[in-house]
Every structure is written in C-alpha cells, then in structure tokens.
C-alpha cells in the first residue's frame, strides 16, 4: 500500500506548498513592478465608491471617473439617489453603458441602505451582497478600499492573470477568490488585487500577453506551457 496523500483544497500537500511558495514570489515581484498600485476609481467615502463600482461594470475606470465628477456633486447623499428620477439618472450615467440596469440597481440599493441601515453603507460582506446590484466583487472593492477590511477582488483581469500564473485552476470567481485567499497573506489581499489588475491592464493583456517583458514569466504556468509546446 502506498503512502497516504494529504489533500489540501483539492491539491496534494506538495502541490499546495508549491502554490504557496510560487504565490509568495509572485507577490514580491508584483510589489517591485507596481509599488504605487491602488484603487483607480475616484471617491471620498463608501457611498461614492459603491456607486462608482456599480458604474464600473463593463466600463473603464477612466470613463467612470469622468461621469462621477459631476454625478457626485448632483447626488451628494444616499437620499438623492433613492429619490432620483430614473430617466434623469439614466441620462446622467448613460456613457458608462448598461445605464438602465445600473440606474435600477443604484436607486433600489440606496433605498435599501436607507431602510435597512439608516442611510449608512454597511461594512460587511453579507449586508453588502444583499443589496441590489452588489456582488462579491463590488463588495470586496468597497470593503477593502473604503473600510480597510481585506478581501480579494476577482474581476476579469484577476481571473485571467491568476489562471495564467497557475494560482488557480478554477473559472468561477468565488472559487478563484477562495484559492487566492488560501495562498496570499490576508494583509496583502487588497494591494495584491490592485497590482494584479494593473498587471492585467499593462502586461498580461487578454489577447496577446507581453510575456517577453514580464518579470513573472519564470513563475508562470502559461509561459512554461507555451515554451514546452503544451
């Protein structure tokens, strides 16, 4: 009978240890590459960040920041959004795309914040994800950047880059978040998320990753497979 193999989150112990060590190296290199990474949405508090993050779905942060510059002046409180005329709000956010759904989410979500939390944006994953239009990604953005509560933000960049690096084999964002939380120290979760997104935007781009100039290449599963012809 062979030796029993200890299983850790679907991996053998050896695979799990290797992933953790690889994640540590990736973490250090990302820190060198993107020392100033941070949230690229403009905001001054939890409500503004919540609204900006809802608007950022299928839209660039640059575009969102252009729109919110005026939006935040026109709608300074949660009550302003809750009582907004939907047609008018639609026009105010139109250039961020999907503006009808986003308008519905913003108005309903702000009404729920007034009804359930006396107008204060809640600071727990459970309460945030129970609001209209707020999923784990949005909640983690708000928790990490407005409340300093650590979370890993799995957006399209995080998903692609972490899969290519071999930090996860999953496709479901919740499972990816779980895999990353297991190998990245908690105190690094938020800044790691920002650095991975910046890497995804600048180097590990979707169509043609710029592997030839990527410092992570020696630690990247995608790059290794590319060179071994897999």
CB of 181 to ligand SF4, least distance (A): 20
DSSP of 50-67: HHHHHHTTTS-HHHHHHH
CB of 204 to ligand SF4, least distance (A): 3
Residue 11, strand partner residues: 8
209 in contact with ligand SF4 (CB under 6 A): yes
* Active-site annotation holds for 155: yes
User: What's the burial of 6, exposed, middle or buried (CB within 10 Å: 0-12/13-18/19+)?
Assistant: exposed
The single residue of 11, 61, 92, 155 carrying the catalytic annotation is 155
* Distance in angstroms (rounded) separating the CA atoms of residues 183 and 167: 8
- Out of 55, 128, 154, 220, the only residue in the binding site for ligand SF4 (CB under 6 A) is 220
* Active-site annotation holds for 137: yes
Residue span 165-204 as binding mask against ligand SF4, x where in contact by CB under 6 A, dash where not? x-------------------------------------xx
34 in contact with ligand SF4 (CB under 6 A): no
* Distance in angstroms (rounded) separating the CA atoms of residues 97 and 18: 42
23 in contact with ligand SF4 (CB under 6 A): no
- Out of 71, 142, 146, 217, the only residue in the binding site for ligand SF4 (CB under 6 A) is 217
The single residue of 42, 137, 179, 202 carrying the catalytic annotation is 137
CB of 13 to ligand SF4, least distance (A): 25
CB of 206 to ligand SF4, least distance (A): 10
Please, are residues 118 and 124 in contact by the beta-carbon 8 Å criterion?
Answer: no
Please, are residues 72 and 48 in contact by the beta-carbon 8 Å criterion?
Answer: yes
* Distance in angstroms (rounded) separating the CA atoms of residues 100 and 133: 12
Active site residues: 137, 155
């Amino acid at each position: 009978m062979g030796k029993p193999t200890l299983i850790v989150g679907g991996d053998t112990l050896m695979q799990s240890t290797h992933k953790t060590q690889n994640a540590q190296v990736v973490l250090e290199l990302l820190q060198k590459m993107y020392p100033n990474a941070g949230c690229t949405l403009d905001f001054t508090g939890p409500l503004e960040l919540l609204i900006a993050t809802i608007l950022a779905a299928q839209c660039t942060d640059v575009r969102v920041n252009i729109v919110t510059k005026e939006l935040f002046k026109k709608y300074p409180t949660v009550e302003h959004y809750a009582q907004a005329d939907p047609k008018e709000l639609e026009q105010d956010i139109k250039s961020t795309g999907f503006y009808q759904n986003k308008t519905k989410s913003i108005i309903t979500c702000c009404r729920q914040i007034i009804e359930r939390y006396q107008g204060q944006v809640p600071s727990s994953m459970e309460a945030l994800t129970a609001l209209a239009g707020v999923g784990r990604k949005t909640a983690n953005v708000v928790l990490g950047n407005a409340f300093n509560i650590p979370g890993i933000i799995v957006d399209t960049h995080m998903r692609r880059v972490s899969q290519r690096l071999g930090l996860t084999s999953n496709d479901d964002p919740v499972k990816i978040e779980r895999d990353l939380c297991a190998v990245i120290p908690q105190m690094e979760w938020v800044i790691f998320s920002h650095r991975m997104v910046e890497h995804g935007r600048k180097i590990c781009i979707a169509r043609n990753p710029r592997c030839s100039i990527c410092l992570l290449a020696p630690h990247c599963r995608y790059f290794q497979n590319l060179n071994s012809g897999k």
